[in-house]
């Protein structure tokens, strides 16, 4: 997969080269290019923003600069090839979910356009949408200063789904959200720590009992922390033992 990120703070994306993602890049599973938006300015001040039409606080990112940047970064899409998907992180976007991470993981190219200030002139997004799929995406109900941290979160969620990126692919299959529930608690050695014992069932060797116990803890935790997820499960997702809980 090829990933391009356009930003006025390229240094913000340095963590993409660390740890799991860094290894995926080194292994050739992902290639990442980070582009400085100011490359496509033509004035001495390299201005990327201007006052909003209609008034109000803050600044809006100028369309000319973004238009040239996206033309250059996307490049000529060979005929017969699909254009990349453009992802625009914004608190006004559609909430990013694990299902979207799976959709993005199936793409061969992703381009991220990081806005700052009050956002990017809407015509940039509307114009891009005439020649490529465009998603305006939020990573949660709070406001960040810019899209860069959202890109880090989205790229990490997508990259770990790519074949070969995780050492043990089973970890992705057992995630929170893969069955619509939050994962329950986990334990490792020692057996007792600060007077707290590991639940007996996990040391019983009874795999059926362990699976049932984990399922119950996942259901309890989801009910307590994310009742909205439980309510959204299809009726077939719960068995008789689940309902008895």
> Could you list the active site residues?
91, 118, 160, 175
Q: Tell me the window of 27-35, 87-95, 162-170, 183-191 that interacts with ligand 6GU (CB under 6 A).
A: 87-95
**Residue nearest ligand 6GU by beta-carbon distance:** 89
Closest CA to 52 of 43, 60, 44: 60
84 scored as a contact of ligand 6GU (CB under 6 A):
no
Size of the site for ligand 6GU (CB under 6 A): 14
58 scored as a contact of ligand 6GU (CB under 6 A):
no
x/- letters, 89..108, toward ligand 6GU (CB under 6 A):
xxx-x---------------
Distance CA 61, CA 52 (A): 9
Binds ligand 6GU by CB under 6 A, chosen from 45, 53, 54, 142: 142
| Beta carbon nearer to ligand 6GU, 118 or 127 | 118
140 scored as a contact of ligand 6GU (CB under 6 A):
yes
5 scored as a contact of ligand 6GU (CB under 6 A):
no
Q: Tell me the window of 72-80, 97-105, 132-140, 224-232 that interacts with ligand 6GU (CB under 6 A).
A: 132-140
* In the complex, least distance from residue 48 CB atom to ligand 6GU, rounded to whole angstroms: 15
156 scored as a contact of ligand 6GU (CB under 6 A):
no
Tally the residues of the chain: 245
| Beta carbon nearer to ligand 6GU, 125 or 218 | 125
Distance CA 16, CA 211 (A): 35
Residue ranges binding ligand 6GU (CB under 6 A)? 89-91, 93, 137-140, 142-144, 146-147, 150
């Amino acid at each position: 997969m090829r990933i391009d990120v356009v930003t006025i703070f390229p240094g913000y994306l340095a963590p993409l080269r660390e740890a799991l993602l860094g290894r995926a890049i080194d292994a050739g599973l992902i290639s990442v290019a980070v582009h400085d938006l100011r490359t496509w300015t033509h004035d001495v001040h390299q201005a990327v923003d201007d006052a909003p039409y209609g008034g109000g606080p803050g600044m809006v990112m100028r369309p000319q600069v973004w238009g040239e940047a996206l033309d250059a970064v996307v490049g000529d899409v060979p005929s017969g090839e699909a254009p990349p998907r453009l992802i625009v992180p914004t608190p006004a976007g559609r909430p990013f979910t694990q299902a979207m991470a799976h959709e993005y993981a199936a793409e061969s190219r992703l381009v991220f356009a990081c806005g700052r200030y009050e956002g990017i002139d809407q015509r940039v997004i509307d114009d891009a949408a005439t020649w490529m799929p465009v998603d305006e995406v939020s990573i949660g109900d709070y406001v960040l200063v810019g899209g860069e941290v959202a890109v880090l979160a989205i790229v990490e969620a997508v990259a770990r789904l790519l074949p070969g990126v995780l050492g043990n692919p089973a970890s992705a299959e057992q995630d929170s959200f893969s069955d619509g529930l939050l994962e329950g608690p986990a334990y490792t050695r020692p057996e007792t720590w600060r007077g707290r014992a590991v639940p007996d069932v996990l040391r019983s060797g009874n795999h059926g009992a362990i699976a049932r116990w984990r399922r119950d803890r996942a259901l309890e935790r989801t009910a307590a922390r994310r009742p909205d997820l439980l309510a959204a499960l299809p009726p077939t997702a719960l068995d008789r033992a689940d309902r008895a809980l």
